Amino acid sequence: MDIPFELTSAIKSALKSLGIEATDVVLEHPADMSHGDYATNVALAFSKQLQVNPRELGEKLAAALRARNIPFVERIDVAGPGFINFHVSRATLSKGIEEILKRTYRYGTGNLWRNTKVLIEYTDPNPFKEFHIGHLMANAIGESLARLIGSHGAKVRRMCYQGDVGMHVAKAMWAIMRRGKLPSRLSPLKERIAFIGSCYVEGSKAYEEDAVAKVEIEAVNKAVFEGKDRKLMKAYKRGRRWSLSHFEDIYRELGTKFNYYVLESEVIHDGVAIVNEFLDKGVFEKSEGAVVFKGEKYDPSLHTRVFINSQGLPTYEAKELGLNTRKWKRMAPDRSIIVTANEQSDYFRVVLKALELVNPAARKATEHISHGMLRFASGKMSSRTGNVITGESLIRDVEAMVAEKLKDRDISESKKEKIASIIAVAAIKYSILKQVTSSDIIYDFEKSISFEGDSGPYLLYTAVRASSVLAKAKSEKIKPVVSVTVPATALEKLLVRYPETVERAAIEKAPHLLAGYLIETAAAFNSWYANTIIVKKDEPESPHRVAVAAATRVVIENGLDLLGMKVPDEM
């Protein structure tokens, strides 16, 4: 049963009986559950329009709603200046728990976007550079969005766009060619990646400090674009292959499997062709030897950006047009979502305006979602200097801290290693996903790995604790049986809210709503666990309590899956 939908319909009907046509009705959950399960402020919202006292209007609406005998509502009352509170019946909560146990892994799924094709582009690391913490943020957010949207019936496809051409590549390749030799293909991938990373740092430093090197690097950039220098291209393709293989190892650990990979080198010529075609049509203009798009001609808040530079080379902007055209040809998505950092927002506003003029259908489907920066006490760090915590090193550092917490547990070493990886990924992802997507994050190592409070490991620990309760119940031969007479708990009220929470998080593309809900539910379960004997033979309420524990396990695990996290067997 979709309680919010049914309540909203009943409220609109009651308003109509009083001569009020309402298109939007706001429902919320009272902070204090004793005040009810749902509340609406419609009496306050329409009292001014009707020129009546809001409390008086609230009482009239409550009476009209009571007369409808809404089957799942036990009581309706009016509070304060006119808030209408709804108390859901014990029988309805019991049915909700039964539904959780019946649907298990399907609980919380819906058909909101059934038959809708959604393409989500995220992560987008660049070969020849580190997988930095910004890529980690984009991956956590993009993967969760893919899962949330997919949970409501959309045909979701994941895409990763990787910059294998450009100045960052030229800087690394310049240093590689100077050194004259790549590591052996038989050496560990970790060593080969470290070599490429050191070359990038060397090239970046030379580009800034050495005028001759700068000219040479710019020449390498053009040579990679043209692809005619055999020796250069052989080394380039080998280094690119190593980088992409390394990224694949990281995706696997993070739980992401992309459907499509697109390289900049694959769309670069498409981008040039589009710019040249629409240069003749007046969308783009020549300026000082370059080709530009003057965004301010179409919107005063936009600005001019270069699409082909004075050397005749396409910029990121031109490649972006080629990429989005390829997306359209490959999938023709109903919705195309791009997840990148906030600092690219102005860039995308201009590029998407240009896309609107060259491919209106593609632009209509496209949405850019921006995220904040992950920061530490020392502030934002740059991969250009080499003095950086990369996304991968952050995972390893957190793994090491988790391993230290697990060292005295009676678990095999191989299992500890696997569990440490699962917990570390959850710790980092939760730290990212609990915040509003656009917010910057100050990462706190200690809090992120805590098994108590507001953290990913706390959620994992709650799911494992629920499993231990179920294992104990099984050993005592106590099966879960839902009761309609056992007094309702705050935990049960939270559990049945899971589907509406997932739906809202999917619609608003806001994983933090689900993350916050899971923490609240986990806290309610742990409080209940601490104050209740759940498994006890010959206790009449024990089968119901076991059912609630089982429902908690389903909800927490399903929610964690939508956030891109796994639950270990033990902790």
- Flag whether 101 is in a domain: no
CATH number, domain with residue 24: 3.30.1360.70
- Its pTM stands at 0.93
- Flag whether 46 is in a domain: yes
- Flag whether 380 is in a domain: no
Residues 71, 210 share a domain:
no
Residues 215, 340 share a domain:
yes
d(CA 132, CA 396): 13
Rg (the chain; Cα; Å): 28
Residues 326, 206 share a domain:
yes
d(CA 526, CA 520): 10
- Flag whether 98 is in a domain: no
Residues 399, 323 share a domain:
no
d(CA 59, CA 55): 6
Residues 448, 311 share a domain:
no
CATH number, domain with residue 408: 1.10.730.10
Give, for 504, the enclosing helix (H) or strand (E).
Answer: helix 498-507
d(CA 114, CA 105): 18
- Residue ending a domain, among 340, 375, 410, is 375
Contact assessment for residue 510 and residue 437, using Cβ atoms and an 8 Å cutoff: yes
* Of 115, 88, 102, 104, nearest in space to 10 by CA: 88
Give, for 12, the enclosing helix (H) or strand (E).
Answer: helix 3-17
Contact assessment for residue 307 and residue 285, using Cβ atoms and an 8 Å cutoff: no
Query: In the block, which residue shows the tokens 């790549």?
Result: 182
d(CA 135, CA 125): 6
Bridge-based pairing state of the strands 27-28 and 38-40: antiparallel
Number of domains in the chain: 3
Residues 75, 146 share a domain:
no
Residues 189, 44 share a domain:
no
Query: In the block, which residue shows the tokens 């986990």?
Result: 522
Q: Residue 545: how many CB atoms within 10 A of its CB?
A: 24
- Helices 189-209 and 211-226, interaxial angle, to 10°? 130
Amino acid 137 reads: M
- Residue ending a domain, among 375, 408, 435, is 375
- Flag whether 104 is in a domain: no
Contact assessment for residue 450 and residue 423, using Cβ atoms and an 8 Å cutoff: no
State how far the alpha carbon of 441 is from the alpha carbons of 21, 282, 379, 444, in Å.
43, 43, 10, 9
Query: Quick check: helix, strand or coil at residue 78?
Result: strand
What are φ and ψ of residue 339, in 5° steps? Answer: -110, 115
CATH number, domain with residue 253: 3.40.50.620
- Flag whether 22 is in a domain: yes
- Flag whether 449 is in a domain: yes
* Of 425, 460, 455, 421, nearest in space to 571 by CA: 460
Query: Quick check: helix, strand or coil at residue 366?
Result: strand
Centroid of chain to Cα 60: 43
What are φ and ψ of residue 118, in 5° steps? Answer: -125, 125
d(CA 21, CA 318): 49
Residues 434, 365 share a domain:
no
Q: Which tokens hold the place of 546?
A: 């076991």
Interior angle at CA 562, CA 560 and CA 566, nearest 5: 40
Length of the chain: 571
Residue 120, strand partner residues: 158, 337
d(CA 139, CA 315): 24
Q: Which tokens hold the place of 263?
A: 């390289």
Interior angle at CA 463, CA 373 and CA 537, nearest 5: 165
Residues 132, 43 share a domain:
no
Instruction: Report DSSP letters for 195-222, one per residue.
Output: HHHHHHHHHHHHHHH-HHHHHHHHHHHH
- Residue ending a domain, among 307, 340, 375, is 375
Query: In the block, which residue shows the tokens 């990121």?
Result: 316
Mean pLDDT by 10 residues, the chain (571 residues): 91 90 90 93 89 92 93 94 96 97 96 95 95 94 98 97 94 96 92 94 96 97 94 96 97 96 94 96 96 97 97 94 91 95 96 97 96 76 55 92 91 93 97 95 91 95 97 97 95 97 97 98 98 94 98 98 96 88
Amino acid 521 reads: T
Residues 462, 321 share a domain:
no
Q: Quick one: DSSP state of residue 263? A: E
Domain span holding position 18:
3-88
Residues 270, 207 share a domain:
yes
Residues 457, 548 share a domain:
yes
